[in-house]
Amino acid sequence: MREGVLFEITKDSLETGLRGFPVGYCVTSFVDPMKGLTYVGRPIAELAGKSPIELIYLLYYGEMGDKNQVAHFQHELNKRAVLQDETVKAIEALPKTGHAMDSFAAALLIVGMCEGKGDYREDCLDVIAKLPHIVASVINSHAGWGKTPDPKPEMGYIENFVHMLNVPGAKTPELVQAMRLFNVIHYDHCGGNLSTFVGKAVASGMEHMYGSLAAAMTALAGPRHGRANQDCLEFVQSVLNDVGENAKAADVEKLIRKKLAANELVYGFGHAVLRVEDARATVCYNYCQKHFPNHPLVKIALLLRTEGAKVLKENPKISDPYPNIDAITGSMLMAAGFPYPDYYTVLFGLSRTVGIAIQIVYERLEARGGKGTPIVRPLYFYKARK
């Protein structure tokens, strides 16, 4: 390739989902095909034990805060964390039909209508602070789990969320720990994942923060993107039903071969960018091996991890035969005491909204020396259908 050229566009590049097209800069995170996700240059495996507020601080300010800075940031978010009663009532009035991601996207619009300030930076901090209250209200209302308890942000970001979520029979400490891990590893995945790209594209038309985030969440809701975590869990459950919890690696390998021969999908493998096991998945596999080694779904997910990669590697056409994040998170949440897959994508949204909001602030207020990026307007060629 010529010097200075990042990507050569040929006819073959068209209609490929902008795969690999350089578009801009991302100041929060990066996904290296061989090393996986880093937040502000730090590998996700090193960060997974940190608290949500420490990592939100890192993504928002671009550096780790010291104890006082993080405490001050926490205090600032806590002041913004409670939704007005009218806002909660409007969320509770949403239809209970449809997927909960539809309610979440609608809830973001409602919060914008009732509490939006029309200032990207202010709305970014507000929405990050209010997300636990928004999402708990959405899930409780959609699931019919009753009135959402008053928020207690001083408990901690995810502790407060779990406190507000009326999960029937929850084992709280285990659930809090797993949900914290799930939350911190999903904040950001560089600039080009579909929901982030859509959110920033909508914001490029100068749509406000809440409208841009609502659009982003409808993008996340698709089964090829965020809803893959729900579908993957259903797949692991179906494998468990077929082979039983005492299955050996050979039983799982045989089943995978049978499914592939029948042109059936094997869920939880491959990624548009990654060419190794998703670093976030590795963190979750390790967590599950430590905390839930005997859970039937975890046992199957671990066998799928090795056997799936082994079988898929035999096909040279498969560029990434390794497990992605969705291969394990559903089993982890089930084992931790949240057996409600209909809400797994909403939990993904609770987390990813943070990274998207921060990236929108960068693109609107900081990029190109503060001018911001222009409205997104790619080129399409005309082609007659016949």
| Catalytic machinery residues | 225, 271, 326
Least distance (Å) between residue 183 CB and ligand MLT: 13
* Residue 227 lies near ligand MLT (rule: CB under 6 A): no
* Residue 189 lies near ligand MLT (rule: CB under 6 A): yes
Are 358 and 121 in contact, with CB atoms under 8 Å apart? no
Which residue, 26 or 214, has its beta carbon nearer to ligand MLT? 26
Least distance (Å) between residue 273 CB and ligand MLT: 6
Distance in angstroms (rounded) separating the CA atoms of residues 161 and 131:
9
Least distance (Å) between residue 310 CB and ligand MLT: 22
Which residue, 156 or 349, has its beta carbon nearer to ligand MLT? 349
For residue 171, what are the contacts with CB-CB under 8 A and spacing of at least 6?
A: 336, 337
* Residue 200 lies near ligand MLT (rule: CB under 6 A): no
Which residue, 189 or 299, has its beta carbon nearer to ligand MLT? 189
Q: Which residue's C-beta sits nearest to ligand MLT?
A: 193
Token pair, residue 126, equals: 């507000």
**Total of chain residues touching ligand MLT, rule CB under 6 A:** 5
String marking each residue 134-173 x if it binds ligand MLT according to CB under 6 A: ----------------------------------------
**Collapsing DSSP states into helix, strand and coil, what is residue 109?**
helix
Report which of 18, 337, 8, 329 is spatially closest to residue 170, judged by C-alpha positions: 337
The DSSP symbol for 269 reads B
Q: Which residues pair with 70 in a beta bridge?
A: none
For residue 117, what are the contacts with CB-CB under 8 A and spacing of at least 6?
A: 123, 126
For the chain, the C-alpha Rg in angstroms (whole number) is 21
Which of 27, 45, 272, 309 touches ligand MLT (CB under 6 A)? Answer: 272
Report which of 324, 300, 294 is spatially closest to residue 312, judged by C-alpha positions: 324
Question: Which residue's structure tokens are 């997974």?
Answer: 48
Are 273 and 283 in contact, with CB atoms under 8 Å apart? no
Which residue, 45 or 272, has its beta carbon nearer to ligand MLT? 272
Which residue, 219 or 256, has its beta carbon nearer to ligand MLT? 219
* Residue 193 lies near ligand MLT (rule: CB under 6 A): yes
Contact set with ligand MLT (CB under 6 A): 189, 193, 271-272, 325
